[in-house]
Every structure is written in structure tokens, then in C-alpha cells.
Amino acid sequence: MTIIIPGVLAIGLAVYGYFIQYNQLTKIQGEIENVNSQVKDAEAKIVQMIELDKRLEALRKEKESIKDLLPAKTADLYEDFLNSMVKTAQEAKLIVHGANVADDAKKSGPPTGGGGLAFEKISYSMRVEGEFYECINFIYLLETSKRFIKVDRFSLRPSNLMDVEKTGEAIRHLLDIKITSYTYNAPSAEKK
């Protein structure tokens, strides 16, 4: 009996210890599974964040390219654009006789930014002189410009027909052109 009672007690304690260890082990395995699922969720969120960062960078680049197409309305906008049109005409080897902002833009007053429409249409008119293909090249350069420009109308007429008959030089043409461009009139809060 002295051997049986301590043996039964030892076996009982061993079984009890096993069940305690089993319960603790099961609890720990549940916690490990929970942590593993949290790690998987975190890894998925990291992948999503990386993709969102890439998308954000692409959108920033797109925003910058749109700024070139539709520049913000500033006080120097009219003069800067007219100067760029004169340079474009000179690239096409044309003589510029006049370039100005059309009356509809003059009536709206100086550009202020903020308020009103988000996109504002501004018309310009020009008179240039050159050979036929130079005039056509100028229209092409305007329409393929980095900035959004629409040719509303143009008229092309010979300017030196009498001289051609006398001297035999190439026919020159006067090109009167009206174009429209747009500006982004940023809200005051966005400018800050």
C-alpha cells in the first residue's frame, strides 16, 4: 500500500500536470494563431500602403503635367502667354505684326485667382506674315503645344501678289488667327 498510494498519487499528479500543460499549450497556440493573423493583416496593409504610395506619386506627376496644360491664373499670365506665342511664331520663321488679348479677356479685368470658375477661357488674336508652309507650321506648333491651345479661327490671304509678279519672289501670306487657351483659377485655400 505504501507503494500503491504514492504511485497512484504520482500518476494522478502527472495526469493533472499534463492537462494543465495541455490547456496552457492550447491557449498559447491560440495566441500564436491570433498574432500570425495580425502579422498577415499588417503585411497586407504594408503592401497596400506601398501601392497607394506609388499611385499617389503617379497622381502628383499627372498633376504637374496638367499644370503645364492649364497654368494657374496669375497677374503675368497674359504677357507671358503672348510672349510664348511670339516665340512660337519666330520659330516658324514668321514676322509678327500684332498679338493681343481678345476683348472678352480684357473685360474681365486683371487676373486675380480664387473665386469664380475653376477654369477660365482666355482668347488671343495674332497677325503674322510668312510663306504658306511657315503659316501652316505655326498653326501646327500652336495645336501641338505643351499647353492646351485651341485654334478658333484663322484667315490666310496673300500679302504681296503685286510684288510677286514684278520681282518673282515667293508669295507671302498674312495669317490672322484667334486662339483660345484656358487657365486654372485655383481657389484661395488651394494656393496656400
Q: Please report the DSSP string for 3-33 in residue order.
A: THHHHHHHHHHHHHHHHHHHHHHHHHHHHHH
Task: Report how far residue 173's alpha carbon sits from residue 89's, in angstroms, rounded to the nearest whole number.
Answer: 14
Task: Report how far residue 146's alpha carbon sits from residue 66's, in angstroms, rounded to the nearest whole number.
Answer: 10
Point out the domain boundary residue: 50, 68, 86: 68
**101 and 48 in one domain?**
no
Task: Report how far residue 163's alpha carbon sits from residue 47's, in angstroms, rounded to the nearest whole number.
Answer: 73
**85 and 61 in one domain?**
no
Domain encompassing residue 93 = 77-191
Provide the number of structural domains found in the chain.
2
pLDDT of residue 188: 57
**108 and 44 in one domain?**
no
**187 and 154 in one domain?**
yes
Give the CATH number of the domain where residue 99 resides. 3.30.70.60
Closest to 127 (Cα-Cα) out of 161, 160, 88, 155: 155
133 touches 93 (CB < 8 A): no
Q: Which residues in 70-93 are b (16+ Cβ under 10 Å) and which e? A: bbebeeebbeebbeebeebbeebe
The pLDDT tens digits for 117-151 are 567 788 888 999 999 899 999 999 988 888 888 88
Point out the domain boundary residue: 68, 95, 124: 68
Point out the domain boundary residue: 32, 51, 68: 68
**96 and 12 in one domain?**
no
- pLDDT bin (cut points 50, 70, 90) of residue 182 is confident
**81 and 63 in one domain?**
no
**53 and 120 in one domain?**
no
Averaged pLDDT, 94-107:
73
**95 and 64 in one domain?**
no
Task: Report how far residue 82's alpha carbon sits from residue 101's, in angstroms, rounded to the nearest whole number.
Answer: 8
pLDDT for 3 beyond 60? yes
Q: How far is CA 29 from CA 23, 100, 148, in A?
A: 10, 79, 63
Amino acid occupying residue 113: G
Closest to 100 (Cα-Cα) out of 126, 119, 118: 126
**178 and 93 in one domain?**
yes
**187 and 100 in one domain?**
yes
